[in-house]
Chain A
């Protein structure tokens, strides 16, 4: 596994070098540091294309992207649908049923036929933005992971039938993890008799985050779990399940805490109520920040290789990249575990009986 990851990063280095390489020699107006910063910024953002890497023409400075386009779906007086290749990375204005759209810094704006972008005094774009429901790079990777998960666990479920209740193939690896989540996360946090209805969510959550984290470490360069929209979606589901399945005891503990002096009870209620929102909020921020930070650190270290441009510094950075990537593989698992464990704990609070 380590070998595979390090090989992946070697590949990634090659890709990055491909895009940096030309800039090192010819680009004058943009320094290397600035370019690396921009590159990292672009990487951690979602994108409308699935681009693997890009090159810059030596003489014209024109960027060339390698990858494949993804569908753009806009809700703006009806549904607008076209492929992202039409936007051509912001170089072209797309006309769709009488309206013009342009990609500008990763966002699609409504413009005139010339693609004019107007700014306010703070330098903010004032153009209208249609509701963008495009299948972006992150959505695409989420779909990919979902299909992979469905295939993996469906085949695990099926392998039982043909093999006398014993898992076969890759299921042998995943079955102990499923049992671990049940025995070490769900049952201790929620309880023997109540954990069953949460199992589907916890298992899906764990593998979803884990696989997306790992995919984020692959040289495909996706950053789905490092995007706050994704972690917000995950935390929202946890929040909804917690509060929709909560029993009377849970609400009583929030609004009228038993076992404390009466004058303290009204003081505790707002704090406890705030806690209801802070818990899933912390889940959202924790996953987002950890994955985003990991990606930025990795990319910065890879960038250092090109900034040093000498044998000692660059190879030192390479060693650092190697070890940080191993840590990131662990973090990928750890964050999935923490998110799942904390969700299970919150469910446990929501359904525990008044027994103290």
Chain B
């Protein structure tokens, strides 16, 4: 210990301390500060980039979800529209069908009634013609036998009227 103290070189201590402290200040200004600043900045930018990437991913996911939602909505809407169209088409067809049916029935009924009328008219015509014919025939027949008797004509008309076709 005594030797340590007696051998202690104050000159070396003096220079060592001066050089070392100067070195600390020099390096702080010209090396450590710029180095640590750059490293910190770089780390910060890496962290920020990672965060923004994460955010972008999240946003992307949101967007995708939204897209999906929109797509689903659109699909549902189109489905509804198709269904509605189908429904209304069916209704339309149904209506057309029923309309046609009733029309046809009307037409049929009209036709039937006009046929009935025509038939009746034709029957009347036929009745008249038959009456005329019968009178003609009968008159001709009777002309030969009863020629003058007017009562016969009336009698025959009466008979014809009684005979409904």
Contact = CB atoms under 8 A, between A and B. Distances in A.
Interface of A: 45-46, 73, 131-136, 138-139, 142-143, 146, 149-150, 153-154, 156-158, 160, 165, 175, 178-179, 182, 196, 199-201, 203-204, 208, 224, 227-230, 232-234, 236-237
B39 A232 contact: no
Contacts of B21: 237
A157 B30 contact: yes
Given A143-B19, A146-B23, A233-B17, A204 B32 contact: yes
Given A160-B38, A200-B24, 7 more contacts: A146-B19, A150-B31, A153-B31, A157-B34, A199-B36, A204-B28, A229-B10
Interface string B3-27: 0100111111111110111111111
* Interface size classification for chain B: 20 to 34
B31 A154 contact: yes
B20 A237 contact: yes
How would you classify the secondary structure of chain B's contact residues: helix, strand, loop or mixed? helix
Contact of B9 (A136, A200, A204, A237): A136
A82 B23 CA distance: 26
A224 to B, nearest CB: 8
Given A136-B12, A178-B35, A204 B17 contact: no
B7 to A, nearest CB: 8
Contacts of B90: none
Contacts of B91: none
B41 interface: yes
How would you classify the secondary structure of chain A's contact residues: helix, strand, loop or mixed? helix
B49 to A, nearest CB: 13
Contacts of B31: 150, 153-154, 156-157
23 contacts: A131-B10, A132-B11, A134-B11, A136-B11, A139-B11, A142-B20, A143-B19, A146-B22, A153-B30, A153-B31, A153-B35, A154-B31, A157-B34, A178-B32, A178-B35, A196-B36, A200-B25, A204-B28, A204-B32, A208-B23, A228-B8, A229-B13, A233-B20
Contacts of B41: 165
